[in-house]
Amino acid sequence: MTTTLLQPGQIEAAAGSIPELRLPPADLFLARARRLEQLAEQHTLGEYLRFVAGLARAQQASLDAAPASSLPAPERLAQCREYRMPPLAPAGLVWPPGWRDTARHLARTVLPSLPAAGQAALQPILDGADAWLDAQATRLFEGDMANLDAAMAPLIGAALQVHWTGLARQLDPAQVARPEHPNLCPVCGSHPVSSVVRIGGAESGLRYLHCGLCASEWHMVRAKCSNCDNTRGIVYYHVEGGDNVARAESCPECRTYLKIMQQDKDPLTDPVADDLAALALDWLMDETGYDKSGINWYLIQSQL
């Protein structure tokens, strides 16, 4: 038997080999739809989860069919990397062409599954001019939730997710700088939905925050508040009698929480689908006096 001692340089190399950024997989929305359908079984919100699953399936079809949008020019990407800015931040980007048609297509696809009132609520997306759709998207990007229509926002957001995911998939992780403050996505600058402790390969046991817009995931150590970087007094909450796949990581400093999903407890867990299915945990945290720092674009009204 031989024992190999690691030299300091080797230890640093090992630490540097952690995958800091996970770009979205090709079947992102399909896997999400399947997870939602699984979670919908015997769930009090089953009908709602099945509706979102249908929307996610339509998103996958749109992602597969959408023409590839162009990334910013190489010089721009290099500049963003140098100054540690997210290269796909909506404010600094020519928005991917076709996202409005995707919004209309998604609305048309999910319309038949809705009651008459729901169909009427989505009609403005089908009738709206391009400028009106752009204004809705701007409100979503700017977090102007008070002026967003809660019924339409998930559809607008779903279309934007399709195009930003398509863009993020064309990046190489080496083109993206580590963020100075890991509370926002290093690829597009959006808020995380939740976080997930991954299993398998080099990512095993590592916690990643999951972007609500472009679905990229960035590494962040556990037991640290993703909202204010505090590491003291972090407390985990879970719903009594639940499966504990989703817990709330709460911070006594800024009084916020972010959900953390354990993939080792359920390998199919999805940071967006499981966030929706664990709404009871949001209600518990609301009663406990904590604000949710994650934003799930399928459920904008929970932020009001």
Q: Which spans of this chain sit near Zn ion (rule: CB under 5 A)? A: 185, 187-188, 190, 211, 213-214, 216, 225, 227-228, 230, 251, 253-254
Minimum Å gap between C-beta 188 and Zn ion is 3
Please name every residue paired with 261 in a beta bridge, in sequence order, or none if there are none. Answer: 196, 246
Minimum Å gap between C-beta 227 and Zn ion is 4
d(CA 263, CA 224): 19
Minimum Å gap between C-beta 40 and Zn ion is 27
Q: Which is nearer to Zn ion, 21 or 110 (CB)?
A: 21
Minimum Å gap between C-beta 19 and Zn ion is 16
d(CA 167, CA 72): 10
d(CA 288, CA 77): 43
**Contact partners, residue 75, CB within 8 Å, separation at least 6:** none
Minimum Å gap between C-beta 183 and Zn ion is 9
Minimum Å gap between C-beta 45 and Zn ion is 26
Which two structure tokens, joined as six digits, stand for 98?
A: 């076709």
Minimum Å gap between C-beta 70 and Zn ion is 18
Q: Which is nearer to Zn ion, 83 or 115 (CB)?
A: 83
Q: Which is nearer to Zn ion, 53 or 251 (CB)?
A: 251
Q: Which is nearer to Zn ion, 239 or 254 (CB)?
A: 254
Q: Which is nearer to Zn ion, 122 or 190 (CB)?
A: 190
Q: In which element (H, E) is residue 211 found?
A: strand 207-211
Minimum Å gap between C-beta 216 and Zn ion is 5
How would DSSP label each residue in 133-174? HHHHHHHHHTT-GGGS-TTTHHHHHHHHHHHHHHHHTTS-GG
Task: Tell me if residue 126 falls in helix, strand or coil.
Answer: helix
In the block, residue with structure tokens 């001019």: 129
d(CA 224, CA 119): 42
d(CA 171, CA 173): 6
Q: Which is nearer to Zn ion, 190 or 194 (CB)?
A: 190
Q: Which is nearer to Zn ion, 125 or 295 (CB)?
A: 295
Q: Which is nearer to Zn ion, 68 or 120 (CB)?
A: 68
How would DSSP label each residue in 40-106? HTT-TTHHHHHHHHHHHHHHHHHHHHSPPPPPPPHHHHHHHHHTT--TT-GGGSPPPTTHHHHHHHH
124, 209, 239, 267, 292 from 114: Cα distances, Å: 15, 32, 31, 31, 28
Which two structure tokens, joined as six digits, stand for 153?
A: 């926002």
